[in-house]
Amino acid sequence: MAATILVTGGTGILGRQVVARLRDAGQSVRVLSRHGGPAGDGVEYVAGDLQTGEGAAAAVDGVTTIVHCAGTQKGDGDKARHLVAAAKDAGVRHIVFISVVGADTIPVVSGIDRGAFAYFESKHDAERVIEASGIPWTTLRATQFYELTLLTAKAMAKLPVIPVPSGFNFQPVDSGEVADRLVELALGDPQGFVSDVAGPTVYSMKDLIRSYVAAAGLRRLFLPVPMPGRAARAIRDGANIAPARAVGRRTWEEFLATQSLVQA
Ligand SMILES: NC(=O)c1ccc[n+]([C@@H]2O[C@H](COP(=O)([O-])OP(=O)(O)OC[C@H]3O[C@@H](n4cnc5c(N)ncnc54)[C@H](OP(=O)(O)O)[C@@H]3O)[C@@H](O)[C@H]2O)c1
């Protein structure tokens, strides 16, 4: 009987694909999230909140490897702290963490930076907690998933005139391909930081949103907006993309063709 692998955030966009792949690989899988999950799919669901640490000890009991996918827009450092504390007590031997391209290179130093880009600071904080945990670890940084890109485009396209930060580029990636890589890492030995994963194409933010607008049959105007602050400057300089790591195969256009484009 294989040891149990814990997938935190195993009900989310990425996490549920990690869970499915681990199950397909014959692994015994437990999921930790705040709201639990569907019974009867061969996966054990534990309800807990990593922001407070509630339920973490039960979730890590008997676990050798953790794939840490639980995350929100902020506070991921604290989530990692609670997870690591419980994991140390339980004798976990490998934590695999999903972070974001730019976590270490987008400076979040001012109120202006924090207003829009606190997410990168939070992921960087979590990276450092895992690095310093004393538990062998592997961290993978990925660019934005297509699902998030679509959500953003839909939200922005609610406006008749869409403000688009000037000079921002994105290189979104298929979350299933990120899940493939995380599972490969979880079934291997700890490696520390591994090479980033990014999608096959770099787009200007305007082109990305425009492609959604066109596919949804909408008509919108675009307004370029200069974004202040150091974080925005780093993004204009490409800190959130990884053209040398364009390893994703599925394209944004292929993804869009499979999606409901109706605005929520
Ligand atoms: N989306 C992207 O473009 C992207 C890109 C690079 C890296 N990442 C990272 O990849 C990870 C997964 O992203 P995703 O898009 O799949 O996110 P998601 O769909 O929002 O899923 C987040 C998961 O985390 C769980 N969760 C949230 N807060 C929690 C808490 N306090 N305690 C326990 N579980 C909690 C959620 O379940 P409950 O709500 O039930 O708790 C859910 O299962 C995140 O760490 C994110 O930062 C995402």
Segment 159-192, tens digit of pLDDT = 999 999 999 999 999 999 999 999 999 999 999 9
Closest atom of ligand 1 to 76 CA is 45
Q: What is the pLDDT of residue 99?
A: 98
182 lines ligand 1 (CB under 6 A): no
Q: Is the pTM of this model over 0.95?
A: yes
Question: What separation in Å is there between the alpha carbon of 11 and the centre of ligand 1?
Answer: 8
12 lines ligand 1 (CB under 6 A): yes
Let me know if residue 262 belongs to a domain: no
Q: What is the pLDDT of residue 3?
A: 85
Closest CA to 15 of 25, 6, 4, 27: 6
Count of domains forming the chain: 1
Domain ranges, residue 134: 4-257
Residues of the chain with pLDDT under 50: none
Query: What is the Cα–Cα distance from 66 to 215, expressed in whole angstroms?
Result: 39
Q: Which of 69, 149, 173, 240 to mutate to test the pocket of ligand 1 (most atoms within 8 A of CB)?
A: 69
Q: What is the pLDDT of residue 261?
A: 87
80 lines ligand 1 (CB under 6 A): no
Closest atom of ligand 1 to 71 CA is 45
Q: What is the pLDDT of residue 42?
A: 84
CATH number of the domain within which 232 lies: 3.40.50.720
37 lines ligand 1 (CB under 6 A): no
70 lines ligand 1 (CB under 6 A): yes
Note the pLDDT tens digit of each residue in 214-249: 999 999 999 999 999 999 999 999 999 999 999 999
